[in-house]
Amino acid sequence: MPLLTTRATIHLVTLNVRTMWKTKKVFPIAAEMRRYNLEVLGISETHWTQFGQQRLTSRELLLYSGHDEKNATHTQGVALMLSKQAQNTLIGWESHGPRIIKVSFKTKKEGISMNIIECYAPTNDYNEDARDQFYNRLQSIIEKCPTKDLTILMGEFNAKVGTDNNGYEEIMGRQGLGERNENDDLALLSQTQQQMQEKTTGVAAASAAVSFNIHKGKIKNLQYNTACTNPVTLDGEDLEDVKTVTYLGSIIDKHSGSDADVKERIGKARATYLQMKNIWNSKQLSTNTKVRVFNTNVKTVLLYGAETWRTTKAILKKIQVFTQNTSDQLVRHY
């Protein structure tokens, strides 16, 4: 029986397992797959190396893709776990490195296949070249799928949608958490107003070609060291001119934004610290454990985007004062 018919209901799920390095972790994942009656389970961040397939004793088939270099590190990695029904309709699968894996199935309609692409996108911590390389490769794989096929893209995109769905009501709900991150943001840099206008128009045209609408209210224009007063427009509307803009978690202004950025990061780190008050007050946790939690959760918030900061004595002093004060509080709590 084909995996996809006009009457059949199939269940597809994607899951970030953080690590599947220990082989035994495969079996509880397979048990959950059977429990929820899933046909295909996409898995990201497996930390497996090489690529291949493994048949489990419970009859599921695991297709996996990771780093293929000799002595490769156990990072990233993607996989697809197939039920017995899905295996019966399997046409083939492709390994595309540690971040992308693709599988194809027969459908009831002759000549039409169902393609499932599982991916694990780079986080904002990676440089722009690494992120561009991933998305270019992903786009190339999608474009090679016949247009008549049903192609499903799923996985871990490391993007936070946040709670603000203004302008995106038809594609996201109101159940998001936190603040939207910048995995969907784009910065255009130009030396003249004319160049910026041409780039803005070009991006809008490319977006419209794939049925993507640009939210004009979210586009900001920052001008620096220019006497030009002509506005940049989109569809006949002037874009808002601003004195500061936040991009990839960092505040940008004509002074590079470091002072304002550091102040904001300290505020967010302090809020994170206060939210974890129960951990700092715990009598069951050792000081060493609390310090590790602090470094993993609070310091990462504090230093996010720090590579763009100016390393002035004043900035270093602010960071040192915050970390010293919070560290002293940890010791007093214990």
Alpha-carbon torsion angle 231, 237, 243, 246, nearest 10 = -130
* pLDDT at res. 43: 95
Output DSSP code: residue 82: E
**CA–CA–CA angle 172, 177, 179 (5° rounding):** 90
Q: Structural domains in the chain?
A: 12-156 (3.60.10.10), 193-242 (no CATH), 251-333 (no CATH)
pLDDT per residue over 294-332, tens digit each? Answer: 888 888 888 876 766 777 888 888 889 998 888 887 766
* pLDDT at res. 12: 92
Find the range with the poorest average confidence among 87-91, 142-146, 266-270, 308-312. 308-312
pLDDT at 255 over 80: no
Non-local CB neighbours of 303 within 8 Å, separated by 6+ positions: 265, 319
Compute the average pLDDT of residues 124-146.
87
Q: Residue 190 to residues 172, 206, 249: CA-CA distances in angstroms?
A: 32, 18, 21
Find the range with the poorest average confidence among 1-15, 101-115, 138-152. 1-15
* pLDDT at res. 278: 86
Write down the residue that tokens 């996010």 correspond to.
304
* pLDDT at res. 40: 95
If one compares 311 and 93, the residue with the highest pLDDT of the two is 93
* pLDDT at res. 62: 96
pLDDT per residue over 51-88, tens digit each? Answer: 999 999 999 999 999 998 888 888 899 999 999 989 99
pLDDT per residue over 187-226, tens digit each? Answer: 666 777 788 888 888 888 877 775 667 777 778 887 776 7
Q: Are 153 and 145 in contact (CB under 8 A)?
A: no
Q: Are 119 and 142 in contact (CB under 8 A)?
A: no
User: φ, ψ for residue 240 (rounded to 5)?
Assistant: -70, 130
